[in-house]
Structures are given as structure tokens and as C-alpha cells.
Amino acid sequence: MKISQLETPALYLDLDAFERNQKKMAQRLNKFKIDMFPHYKSVKCTTIAHMQIAAGAKGISCAKTEEAWDLAHAGIENILIANQVTSLENISRVASLAGCCNLTVCIDDEKNIDDLSAAASFYGTVIHCLVECNVGADRCGVNSKEEVLALANKIAESPGLEFQGIQAYAGQISHELDFTIREKVSIEKENYLKSIISFLNENQILVKRVTGVSTGSVQFRNADTVYTDVQVGSYAFMDASYGKLGLEYEHSLFVLSSVMTVNEKFVIMDTGRKSVGVDQAMPQIPGCNCEEINVSEEHTKLPADVLNAKVGDKIPIIPGHCCTTMNLHDYIYFVRDDKIIDRVEITSRGRSR
């Protein structure tokens, strides 16, 4: 079966491009002995997570307890929930999961440590903990070295918990278009991290792990980095948003769409915001540099002069944002050349708890 025979909208992965992206990222990280924990919020599919492990990833990062549950039950052994786990129901779940895999969570709150410790003690498990440092995303995380030390000490003293190190994710620069600014801020934040690590060392706290770093900032890590592992996600698929940064990775994820109306001014396709993520950028058509793509709930509109098409034509779309696109589909087609190889379940679509 060929790509053009899929019913639309249809999400598909170009396996050749995906594998080249995997290889490029692995080569970059191997060179500097940095571990890879690709972020599951981008792929949401345990089959793809296993392909990433096979390509050299040491473990998988994720954002939600439900995602960690899916990963553990699919046999992934090293899982980082790169986020706070604060509800009692989820704390109980991660304490249980910590018995099934090597599980790490992030912490920025003192009471949270008590709750995690109580749950881990109840299950007789050990939860690995990172203190989250705010490095400019201004979201979760603490804002001073003294706070990091206080939380690290408290974790170290809490039964069922083990202090591992620091999470520092500078999400604010991931999509910064200006290379110089992206590089400058990225290095500044790493220097800030170095000062925190020195302070912890001076206070007899050993930092075994420092994690963070996105597809947009991985190029600034080298052999001297303090980061032990990176949480890159979008490199695997790329999307129109990251496409603007001119990175070395290829677009491998597409939403096949059908042309449904053609007139003098516009071409209208059958893919809307319920099938393609547009929250970070508008989608693009491969080989067609178009600034005027418009996506409404069920339609994609582009000017007639950028695409020579007739009703019924099937056109691939590069998603504006790969992560939210994966979350809209129940399954993804794997393709090689023009051929459908497999239809795979997006196991963790909608798993947001």
C-alpha cells in the first residue's frame, strides 16, 4: 500500500528520515559522552521509545505519571519524569512504579518530599529525586542555591528517596531564532548551574546527575558540559517551528491531507486543528515556502498560487508542532520510500495525568 492510498487526515513517519535523525543525535552525544533521555512528550508511542533505546538512548524522559506508567509497562527500564508529581494519587503511583523500573522525579517543594517519602516507604521502593532549578523558563523550580541545598539535604534524609542531582531545563531559549542569543543564554545558564554544583559540593552534597537541554540547545553542549543527559524530543520528528532554526535534523513526521476545494484564490485541504498541532507555528508544505497558510478547525487554506492542485490530490503537511500533533492521533503509519510498513498505536495519546 502506498502513502497516497491512505485515508486522510493520516499521520505518518518517514522511517528513513527518522533513523537519520536518531543517528545524528547519537553521534553528537556519544562524542561528548552525554547520555540521551529522549522526551516522550514528543513521541507518545512506546514502539518509538523502544526504537530510541535501540538507537542508543539510556532511558526515556516524560512529563506525566500516566506516560511513565505506559513506559514502565512497555518494559522501559530508566524513566525520568522531568516534572513535579504533586497529587496524592500520582505520588502513590510513582512510588509503586519505582519498584518496577529505575524511576526519577523532580522536586521544588518541601512538603512534596514528605509525601513522596511516605509513599515510597509504604511501597518499600526507592524514588530517585532531582531538585529542579529554574534557569529562566519561570515555571517550576527553585531560584537560589540555598533552596537547592535545603531540598537536597531534606531528600537525602528522607527514607525511600535518593538525591541524584539537578534538573535545569531552559525552555525559554528552545525556539529562539537568533543563534547568538540561543548560544549565549544557554552557556550563561550552564555557568549558573556550575556555581550551584560547586556550592552543593562545598556542602558535601554529591551531584551525580544534571539533566535538561532541548533540541534547540543541544548543539551548545560539549565535552565540558555539566549535563550528564539531555531531554531532546523534537529532533526525532522535527516540525515547522523547529524548522526555522536551521538545525541538522530532517522533517520525518507528516499529516497527509486531501484537497477538497480549489478556486481562483485558495486551495482548501481537509486537515484542521484537530489533526495538526499549530500551537508553536503554522504548518508547512514540503518544498513550498508559504507564509500564508491558515488552519481552522477542520480546514487548511493556502493561496492558490503556491500549490498547483486539484480536488482529491493528497498532499503531506509538516506539522507546526510535532508534540501536540502526536497527541491528536490514535495511530501513526510507518513508511519507507513510498510504502506503508506498519500502523502503530500512539499508546500515550491523551495520557495527561
Could you say whether residue 31 binds a copy of itself (CB under 8 A)?
A: no
H/E element, 147 = helix 145-156
Of the residues 8, 46, 92, 347, which one makes contact with a copy of itself according to CB under 8 A:
8
Residue 22 vs 90, nearer CB to a copy of itself:
90
Q: Which of 311, 337, 338, 342 binds a copy of itself (CB under 8 A)?
A: 311
118: β partners = none
Q: Is residue 265 close enough to count as binding a copy of itself by CB under 8 A? A: yes
Report residue 269 as a C-alpha cell. Answer: 485541504
Q: For cell 505519571, what's the residue?
A: 65
Which member of 35, 183, 298, 345 binds a copy of itself (CB under 8 A)?
A: 298
Least distance in Å: CB of 37 to a copy of itself? 16
263 makes contact with a copy of itself (CB under 8 A): yes
Size of site (CB under 8 A) for a copy of itself: 56
Of 114, 157, 279, 342, the residue at the interface with a copy of itself (CB under 8 A) is 279
φ/ψ bin of 98: left (φ > 0), alpha (ψ from -120 to 50), beta (otherwise):
alpha
Q: Binding to a copy of itself by residue 278, rule CB under 8 A?
A: yes
Q: Which three cell numbers stand for residue 314?
A: 493528497
Report if residue 260 touches a copy of itself, rule: CB under 8 A. Answer: yes
Give, for 262, the enclosing helix (H) or strand (E).
strand 253-262
Q: Does 202 bind a copy of itself (CB under 8 A)?
A: no
CA distance 245 to 274: 26
Selected from 258, 293, 322, 333, the binder of a copy of itself by CB under 8 A is: 258
Which of the stretches 78-86, 122-130, 156-164, 240-248 binds a copy of itself when contact is defined by CB under 8 A? 78-86
Choose one: 150-158, 182-190, 274-282, 337-345; the region binding a copy of itself (CB under 8 A): 274-282
- Crossing angle of helices 145-156 and 110-123, rounded to 10°: 20
| Residue 184 CB neighbours (<10 A) | 14
Compare residues 86 and 219 and give the one whose CB is closer to a copy of itself: 86
Q: Which of 324, 332, 335, 347 binds a copy of itself (CB under 8 A)?
A: 324
Q: Which residues bind a copy of itself (CB under 8 A)?
A: 7-9, 41, 63-64, 83-84, 86-90, 108-109, 111-112, 138-141, 143, 171, 258-261, 263, 265-266, 268, 270-275, 278-279, 296-299, 301, 311-312, 323-324, 327-330, 349-350, 352-353
